[in-house]
Chains A and B, each alone.
Chain A
Amino acid sequence: DAKTTQPPSMDCAEGRAANLPCNHSTISGNEYVYWYRQIHSQGPQYIIHGLKNNETNEMASLIITEDRKSSTLILPHATLRDTAVYYCIVINYGGSQGNLIFGKGTKLSVKP
């Protein structure tokens, strides 16, 4: 599976959009981008995933560049409860049993 690179930490003001970048320059054609987050003292939580088109759900939007070498997770109106570690994971959709490799992620701090 392709490796991802994320900034170790980011700050965001409450109510503003949080844009979390992820670089996956070695991604191959059949690999998906998945995002999870982990709020302190809880297990990770699935947020969103995509292949090449932009995706949106009730939690977030995922923007994938045309060359698929990077992506951005957008939390449109960040709240204090969005403070968490966010993990970007690239995975071969058909080549695993679902065992994911979590990197170190980005620690997002939402400040009042």
Chain B
Amino acid sequence: DVKVTQSSRYLVKRTGEKVFLECVQDMDHENMFWYRQDPGLGLRLIYFSYDVKMKEKGDIPEGYSVSREKKERFSLILESASTNQTSMYLCASSRAGTGREKLFFGSGTQLSVL
């Protein structure tokens, strides 16, 4: 079964901490995405990457950075976590070219920043 795996299901951090959210896919997909999901706001795109070491800003990149050193792994970094970054974080991947809009999602990481 194809899989997108997020390293943690639940995470609790303190304000000011550096937070790493890891995502790994086993489908050899070129594209990877980080979304956050908040009640009443739906899914919002933070960053995406269409190749190793490449990244593009999404709709809400402020306060986040990403790293893609290997094709299968896409990391989301909160340099200094704040309470307004408490959210559900979803990673997704898709192949390049035809079918790039068919995204495969992980199960999500519920991050609480206290």
Residues on A close to B: CB < 8 A? 32, 34, 36, 41-46, 49, 89, 91, 93, 96-105
- Give B100's nearest chain A residue, CB to CB: A98
CB-based contact B101/A43 at 8 Å = no
Q: Which residues of A contact B42 (CB under 8 A)?
A: 102-105
Q: Supply 8 A–B pairs (Cβ within 8 Å), ascending by A.
A: A41-B107, A44-B90, A44-B105, A89-B101, A91-B101, A96-B101, A97-B96, A104-B40
Contacts A43-B105, A98-B94, A104-B40 supplied; 9 other A-B pairs, CB < 8 Å? A36-B103, A41-B108, A43-B108, A97-B50, A97-B100, A98-B31, A98-B100, A98-B101, A99-B33
Q: Closest Cβ of chain B: how far from A100's Cβ, in Å?
A: 6
Distance of A105 Cα from B37 Cα, bound (Å)? 13
- Give B4's nearest chain A residue, CB to CB: A43
Distance of A74 Cα from B74 Cα, bound (Å)? 35
Q: Which residues of A contact B78 (CB under 8 A)?
A: none
- Interface of A: prevailing SS: loop
| Count, chain B residues at interface, CB 8 A | 26
- Give A92's nearest chain B residue, CB to CB: B101
Q: Does B45 contact A (CB under 8 A)?
A: yes
Q: Closest Cβ of chain B: how far from A95's Cβ, in Å?
A: 11
Distance of A90 Cα from B79 Cα, bound (Å)? 34
CB-based contact A98/B56 at 8 Å = no
The 3 closest A-B pairs by CB, nearest first: A43-B105, A98-B100, A102-B43
CB-based contact A98/B103 at 8 Å = yes
Q: Which residues of B contact A98 (CB under 8 A)?
A: 31, 33, 48, 94, 100-101, 103
A93 and B101 in contact (CB under 8 A), knowing A43-B108, A99-B33, A99-B58? yes
Q: Which residues of A contact B92 (CB under 8 A)?
A: 43-44
Q: Which residues of B contact A36 (CB under 8 A)?
A: 103
Distance of A41 Cα from B105 Cα, bound (Å)? 12
